[in-house]
Amino acid sequence: MKTLHEWAEHYKKLRIWIYPYKNYSEQFEWLHWRNMKESDYNEEFKSFKWNCVEGINIVTGKKGVLVLSFVKDESNGYATNSLLKVLSLLGLPKDYDWVIESKTYYSIIVDVHSMPMGRIQKKYRNFVLRYEESYILPPGIENYESWFKNGIPQTHPIQISWFLFKEKIAEIEKLSLVDRGLSKEEGGRIIKMKITIGCLLVIAISIITGIIAFCNSVSFEVWLAMFVVTLVAVVGLIYIMSH
């Protein structure tokens, strides 16, 4: 397939709801698709001008389609192993054709039928579920190329029951889908960097609270209390923002 129009027609034959990707700022409106009937979608599909678009979006949540994505790291061979583990847990073949690959991630597309609308957790520690939202399909867009790892699919994604899928999510969450395998040298550098940042943070807070204490002629005990409270607040804020 050479053109986006050819890709689009192929996806439609596989009973996948798609629509044109136009730019990064576009907004996905799930309400537009939620109650749309097949006949209405077919009419809308005919109106799409595929020669004027940048890529192809899938409408996840329609036809039961759900996308599971996680970061890959091929430097230590974890990517393929993690992918095979996820496929195995979901009962999918190791050469499953709805596996999308890019430079930085893997995505697995399945048909999770009987799933309740709008009632699933989407973000986990090391993977993301995309449901009732858009997702860019191969061949991707400029500077965001993607491809099917095991060849272009010829059938609709494999169906998995919601109850089975829900059970497997907890097991997938336990997998080390991303393991950077830091060397001792790299780990040491990171520790030194964190210690340096911590020392600079303490010095900065000491100076700021010291100036405030000096300008207000407060005692050492009051300054110490100010310093501790400020330090705890800043550390707490950093922790919250990083999680």
Q: What is the pLDDT of residues 67-77, one digit of tens each?
A: 999 888 665 55
Peptide bond between residue 139 and the one before it cis (omega within 30 degrees of 0): yes
5: buried, middle or exposed (CB in 10 Å: 19+, 13-18, 0-12)? middle
Task: Find the DSSP H helices in 30-161.
Answer: 30-34, 38-47, 78-89
**pLDDT above 70 for 152:** yes
Q: How far apart are CA 49 and CA 46, in angstroms?
A: 8
Q: What is the pLDDT of residue 67?
A: 95
Q: CA nearest 83: which of 175, 180, 163?
A: 175
CATH of domain 4-174: 3.30.2250
Q: What interhelical angle do 184-215 and 220-241 show, nearest 10? A: 140
pLDDT at 190: 58
Reported pTM? 0.69
Question: What is the arithmetic mean of pLDDT over 137-143?
Answer: 88
In angstroms, rounded to a whole number, what is the distance separating the alpha carbons of residues 77 and 205? 43
